[in-house]
Amino acid sequence: MTQDPEPPLSQLPIQVRPRRGEPIGSYIRRLARANHLKPSYLHGFLTGSTNWFGNPQLERLAALTGRSPDLLQRVLAGAEAPRRRRKPGPPSTSTKKVDKKELYQRIRHDAETEALSARALERRHGVTWRTVRAALDGHDPRPRKPPPRRSTAIDPVQPLINAMIEAGHGPTQIWVQLMDKHDTSISYGIIRRYVHDQTLTDWRQQTPVSTNRVLPGQRRASD
């Protein structure tokens, strides 16, 4: 039994001009509000599937707005055509980067066992004379500074999401409320991972650690 093809989509009665560089999520929300629709519903409709949390299809958005997919892709940020699956290429042949402390040890070992000159050590290990000098002087490499934390899509609305989690809302409810009530579009996958991590952290903080906990397969000392 073949499935009937979907009827052609009609343009929405009220049109909204896309702004150059505007995120596609922002444009969908403006378009939905102009036509008295919930942004979450319009987003879900534009995915063309039962999975409301997927990416909106440019062809469907173009049909509703009367604009070409190419124009929407040029104007809107994040509006990308579906990517073609690439065949897996050969495995990478790049060598693993040596830890700096281990590198210093190798330089000292080669200098002691083979009596190599500083220039020969530079060539063998692909380093500068400063690195060779520091290794031969017995200095330990300075610990690397941790990279600065990158901002995420969650940061601007983190207190809001935390309040929803405390109120017992799940990822789906949070995704819908952010879009419909707070004019914010965040990937459902990002929200789901954040809710999972927060819930797990809260559970660990609230669960007391018992020294008498009996693991499966063990017996109490009194048994």
Task: For residue range 38-96, list pLDDT tens digits in order.
Answer: 999 999 999 988 777 888 999 999 999 999 999 999 999 988 755 555 555 555 444 45
Q: 10 Å Cβ neighbour count for 163?
A: 11
Task: Evaluate whether 39 touches 32 at the Cβ level (below 8 Å).
Answer: yes
- Lowest-confidence segment of 86-95, 97-106, 127-136, 212-221 by average pLDDT: 212-221
CA distance 4 to 110: 74
* pTM for this model (two decimals): 0.63
pLDDT for res 114? 81
Per-residue pLDDT band at 217 (split at 50, 70, 90):
very low
Q: Name the least confident of 2-11, 37-46, 175-184.
A: 2-11
User: What pLDDT shows up at residue 101?
Assistant: 82
Q: Label residue 180 by pLDDT band (50, 70, 90).
A: very high
C-alpha to C-alpha distances, 124 to 74, 120, 127, 149, 189, nearest whole angstrom: 50, 6, 8, 36, 46
At a CB cut-off of 8 Å and minimum separation 6, what does 197 contact?
none
Alpha helices in 66-117 (DSSP H): 69-75, 100-114
Arithmetic mean of pLDDT over the chain: 82
Distance, CA of 196 to chain centre: 14
Residue 221 pLDDT:
47
